[in-house]
Amino acid sequence: MSILFSPLDIGPVQVPNRIAVAPMCMYSADDGCATDWHLQHMMSLAMSGCGAIIMEATGVSPEGRLTPGCLGLWSDANERALERVITAARKVAMPGVKFGIQLAHAGRKASAALPWKGGKPISPAEGGWRRLAPSPLPFGDGWPAPEQIDEAEIERIIKAYGEATRRAARIGFDIVEAHAAHGGLPHQFFSPIANQRNDAWGGDQKGRMRFTIEMAASMKAAAPDNIALGARINGTDYIDGGLVLDDAIAQAAELKRQGLHFVCVSGGNIVPGGRPVTGVAFNVPNASRVKQETGLVTRTAGLIYDAMQAEEILQRGDVDQIAIARGVLDDPRWGWHAAEKMGVKLEMPKPYVRVGLGQWAGAKLVRPSVEAKAQS
């Protein structure tokens, strides 16, 4: 009995299996609007065999984008462009697939060139925009100091999370997740490295957590009851003086009190180079503790690439859902191949049914490691 291929209830939403596509920036939007790139990307992932597909970090306001190519959901034009993508992806999706979106604000990391153009900060003269942050502390060497954000701007951005949630619900997303990890604005507020305020938005753990909690409350107030709401958080910053597992547990518990249904536990990136020394499934121990301590539905990602490895993590009860990022870019049929390894028969898209489990003898030849457990 495969847990990987068993359904999971996340609040009001049921996903057909435990495999999620992790949010991944495509840097291919036009003024925040999804393009034909997103259309092909999401239509392909809709047929990946993964049960939930979480779209990339999506700016709740124009200045909240990391790069000029980042997706946004602050305008009617953004909403229409994304609706086209999701409507098309749904038409070809495998049975029960759920679509999610990650709402984000890059804060002091905003206004950077596309990764394939170097990823360096860009100035207003080069087409860049404002960087807003809890304190005027640059992200790292070579980064300009951001503007310290005032109360009115904080309120504006918190409201924008609610408005983007409303738009996401109208488009038909099933899952809305706040990006509170990887050095974005909510994480900057929570981090003692990035937040040195003495007012009600900083100071002790409670003050530093306030932005994230009010953001969650704004999303909760805007979300209809049929949507699963959650947040991606850091289990640790992997850096001296940064957030540790106890902070993550406290934050997840508070998010649960706000009515969120799940967390995805990741880590790193509050400063450049603040990354884990990556080993296989490196976020699992922290994610597992968050799950144990809070009882929240918990997802994790990070060098989980093999179906049997994912199954073992689930069998141990460490987490409830496994997210795959680079693995699905490498193999957009990751879910099919995972099912093949586990001997699970997926209901295939009809035009592709000839490559379903046991239908195509070539599977054994191109993937010799796979024991074809077909019943034909």
Ligand X SMILES: Cc1cc2nc3c(=O)[nH]c(=O)nc-3n(C[C@H](O)[C@H](O)[C@H](O)COP(=O)(O)O)c2cc1C
Instruction: Fill in the DSSP letter of residue 30.
Output: B
Asked whether position 327 contacts ligand X by CB under 6 A, the answer is: yes
Asked whether position 214 contacts ligand X by CB under 6 A, the answer is: no
Asked whether position 302 contacts ligand X by CB under 6 A, the answer is: yes
Query: Residue 367: what residue type?
Result: R
Contacts of 62 (CB under 8 A, 6+ apart): 32, 72, 74, 129
Find the shortest distance in angstroms from Cβ 334 to ligand X.
10
The contact mask relative to ligand X for 266-295 (x = CB under 6 A, - = no) is x-----------------------------
DSSP string over 21-46: EPP------BTTB--HHHHHHHHHHH
Q: Which of residues 89-108 bind ligand X (CB under 6 A)?
A: 102
Distance of alpha carbon 213 from alpha carbon 318, whole angstroms: 25
Asked whether position 326 contacts ligand X by CB under 6 A, the answer is: yes
| Closer CB to ligand X, 58 or 135, in the complex | 58
Instruction: Fill in the DSSP letter of residue 111.
Output: S
Q: Which of residues 118-137 bind ligand X (CB under 6 A)?
A: none
Across 7-19, b (16+ Cβ under 10 Å) vs e yields: ebebbebebbbbb
231: left (phi over 0), alpha (psi -120 to 50) or beta: beta
Asked if 96 and 50 count as a contact pair (C-beta separation under 8 A), the reply is: no
Q: Which stretch binds ligand X (CB under 6 A): 7-15, 153-161, 307-315, 321-329?
A: 321-329
| Closer CB to ligand X, 16 or 302, in the complex | 302
Q: Which stretch binds ligand X (CB under 6 A): 139-147, 161-169, 286-294, 324-332?
A: 324-332
Asked whether position 23 contacts ligand X by CB under 6 A, the answer is: yes
Distance of alpha carbon 267 from alpha carbon 356, whole angstroms: 36
Q: Which residue has the tokens 């909510």?
A: 186
Find the shortest distance in angstroms from Cβ 174 to ligand X.
18
Extended strands (E) in the chain = 8-10, 13-15, 19-21, 52-59, 71-72, 98-104, 132-133, 147-148, 175-180, 228-236, 262-267, 297-300, 321-324
Find the shortest distance in angstroms from Cβ 241 to ligand X.
22
Asked whether position 253 contacts ligand X by CB under 6 A, the answer is: no
Find the shortest distance in angstroms from Cβ 281 to ligand X.
9
SS3 call for 102: strand
Rule CB under 6 A: choose which of 24, 114, 217, 370 binds ligand X. 24
**Residue 315, phi then psi, degrees to nearest 5:** -60, -35
Asked whether position 324 contacts ligand X by CB under 6 A, the answer is: yes
Find the shortest distance in angstroms from Cβ 151 to ligand X.
27
81 closest CA partner among 107, 55, 105: 55
| Closer CB to ligand X, 46 or 328, in the complex | 328
**Residue 373, phi then psi, degrees to nearest 5:** -95, 45
Q: Which of residues 25-64 bind ligand X (CB under 6 A)?
A: 25, 56-57
Query: Residue 319: what residue type?
Result: V
Rule CB under 6 A: choose which of 38, 65, 167, 179 binds ligand X. 179
Q: Which stretch binds ligand X (CB under 6 A): 33-41, 117-125, 179-187, 338-346?
A: 179-187
| Closer CB to ligand X, 31 or 199, in the complex | 31
Q: Which stretch binds ligand X (CB under 6 A): 78-86, 178-186, 215-223, 285-293?
A: 178-186
Distance of alpha carbon 313 from alpha carbon 29, whole angstroms: 35
> With CB under 6 A, what is the number of residues at the site for ligand X?
20
Find the shortest distance in angstroms from Cβ 80 to ligand X.
21
Instruction: Fill in the DSSP letter of residue 115.
Output: G
Write out the residues near ligand X by the rule CB under 6 A: 22-25, 56-57, 102, 179, 181-182, 232, 266, 301-304, 324-327
